[in-house]
Amino acid sequence: MTKTRTVSRNRILGVPLPAGRSGVDLVISALRIIIVALIIIGAGNTLLEGRFTFEQWLALLFAGLAQGSIYALIALGYTLVYGILRMINFAHGDVFMAGAFTTVFLANSFRHSGFLDSQPLLAILILMGFAALVSMTVAVLLERIAYRPLRNAPRLVPLITAIGASFFIQYTFRGLFGSGFKAYPTVAFLRGTFSVGSINVPIAQLFVFLSAIVLMLCLYWLVERTRIGKAMRSVSEDKEVATLMGVNIDLIIVFTFAIGGALAGAAGVINGLFRPQGVNFFMGFFPGIKAFTAAVLGGIGNIPGAMLGGMFLGVIEAIGPNLVLNGLGIPSANQLKDVIAFTMLVLVLIFRPQGILGERLSAEKA
């Protein structure tokens, strides 16, 4: 009698579930098998058909790496903040937008005055600095106004605030600069291709990749080799002990938001030079979500992880539709590029929330 009762309790809509967590485990394992099977079938089909040449795959790989390095730069902002506050700064995509959207006006005035063509590198540096400054300001204000008063609130509260702040930033910029699409000017020296043997790499992609690497190295140096970096790491390890050691927590948190914002702003300009079109108030949403995916993929809170995750996601997004979806016979697979990214996001959250390089998060953190 008792036994039947327990069984009937574990039925939902008539679907029997084994008691407790094992039912969920079963579903997740089944899901894992299905996904691996789909990937193998799809990839196998595409490769057997020989639809693309080696050069074409390589071109996709490079495009993916370039796009991925932009994701990586934004992802660093998520990871830095998460490492210190254990919260997801949902509005970080909009911090990226703020820099990119504001700088488009400066970039176009540089273009009109001829400065961009006469001194391209200097002009780009100034643009990046300006965008970094704007994004940094937005990020710091965000922390000061929206997040700091809620540092000890229940978990749901800062999350709601972050979503609200995200919309606030988006629609503020829509109000300020209008809802139309703007475009970055094209820079002459980024147009060509760079060839090694039979392999051609567009210079724009090379530029994006290299500038991202430089910025990441700067960040790595800052965090690992400087005094304030040491303070950041100590706050991330244990806030209370860090306070006892004389670290000013508020200052470190503001600094972290500032660094994350500056990287996002610089990423905004790099993104604008790489893909000039489509600058508007909503441009931060998709890069933001994807960068978050990248941060989780690499292990959130882990700086090299975010870089790796970004590159990885960029490559998957570029290759995935052609490799897997084509092979499964899905028409116009490139339309589903974002589906790949979002599926990746959900899958990472399901199967490996600690990411590639991340520590095993305890249930409370995840």
Position among 168, 206, 233, 254 found at the interface with other proteins (CB under 8 A): 168
In contact, 120 and 187? CB cutoff 8 Å: yes
Instruction: Report how far Cα 196 is from the mean position of its chain's Cα atoms.
Output: 30
Q: 3-state class of 358 per DSSP?
A: coil
Nearer to other proteins, 259 or 325 (CB): 325
**Nearest approach, Cβ of 272 to other proteins (angstroms)?**
16
- Angstrom distance (rounded) from CA 245 to CA 142: 27
Q: Residue 227: which residues within 8 A CB-CB, separation 6 or more?
A: none
* Choice from 16, 44, 175, 192 touching other proteins (CB under 8 A): 175
Is residue 171 at the binding interface for other proteins, with CB under 8 A as the rule? yes
Among residues 159 and 183, whose Cβ is nearest to other proteins?
Answer: 159
CB 333 to other proteins: min, Å: 8
Tell me how far apart the alpha carbons of residues 283 and 10 are, in angstroms, rounded to a whole number.
45
Q: How far is the CB of 72 from other proteins (least distance, A)?
A: 18
Does 133 contact other proteins by CB under 8 A? no
Q: Does 164 bind other proteins (CB under 8 A)?
A: yes
The one-character DSSP state at 149 is: G
Does position 363 bind other proteins by CB under 8 A? yes
Report the SS3 class of residue 12. strand
Whole-number Å distance between alpha carbons of 355 and 305: 8
* Contacts (Cβ under 8 Å, ≥6 apart) of 338: 286
- With a CB cutoff of 8 Å and minimum separation 6, the contacts of 337 are 317, 320, 321
- Contact between 172 and other proteins by CB under 8 A: the answer reads yes
- Choose the binding region for other proteins from 45-53, 224-232, 258-266, 326-334 (rule: CB under 8 A): 326-334
Q: What is the dihedral of CA 35, 40, 43, 49, to 10 degrees?
A: -140
Cα-only R_g, the chain: 23
Q: Taking CB under 8 A as the rule, which mask of x and - marks residues 18-47 in contact with other proteins?
A: -xxx-xx--xx--x----------------
Any contact of residue 181 with other proteins (CB under 8 A)?
Answer: no
Kindly state whether residue 137 participates in binding other proteins, applying the rule CB under 8 A.
no
Binding mask 269-308 for other proteins (x = CB under 8 A): ----------------x---x--x---x------------
Select 202 or 265, whichever has its Cβ closest to other proteins: 265
- Give the binding-site size for other proteins (rule: CB under 8 A): 66
